[in-house]
Amino acid sequence: YACCVSSSDLKAFERRLTEYIACLQPATGRWRTILIVVSVCTATGAWNWLIDPETQKVSFFTSLWNHPFFTISCITLIGLFFAGIHKRVVAPSIIAARCRTVLAEYNMSCDDTGKLILKPRPHVQ
């Protein structure tokens, strides 16, 4: 199949793929930053919640009510995962992996930036 594709078509595909993956990088960086900040806030709030001696003496919901920072950050983290943040932080990797799957049929691959890798043709005996 690859013999029917011109080198200009491959270069155009590679250019578009690298452009698309590069375009995803700023958004991916922002989502990673948001995930890290909310995770650190949740961990800090959880630590304060767990070391509070009152937590053992009151009901679960009362202890959550007494620690609004932890409660809000935990709800935010859960909401982000339901919104698909775990997919958004790895979107370029997902695109590259799917392209590798398709390109394997044409004896090609690509790196994480979208650059095409042409594999040697198998020898037919």
- Residue 42 placed within a domain: yes
Mean pLDDT of the chain: 91
- Residue 9 placed within a domain: no
- Residue 45 placed within a domain: yes
Q: What is the pLDDT of residue 1?
A: 46
**50 closest CA partner among 74, 84, 81, 30:** 74
Give how many domains the chain has, as a whole number. 1
Query: What does the block give as tokens for 105?
Result: 């049929």
Poorest-pLDDT segment among 82-91, 92-101, 113-122: 113-122
How many Cβ atoms are within 10 Å of 37's Cβ, its own excluded?
12
Q: Which whole number is the average pLDDT over 90-117?
A: 92
The whole-angstrom separation of Cα 92 and Cα 60 is 40
- Residue 111 placed within a domain: yes
pLDDT for 99 beyond 90: yes
**What is the residue type of 43?**
A
Q: Which whole number is the average pLDDT over 23-42?
A: 95
- Residue 96 placed within a domain: yes
The whole-angstrom separation of Cα 44 and Cα 70 is 8
- Residue 113 placed within a domain: yes
Of residues 71 and 6, the one with the higher pLDDT is: 71
Residue 102: pLDDT band (50, 70, 90) is: very high
- Residue 123 placed within a domain: no
Per the structure, the complete domain to which residue 24 belongs is given by: 15-118
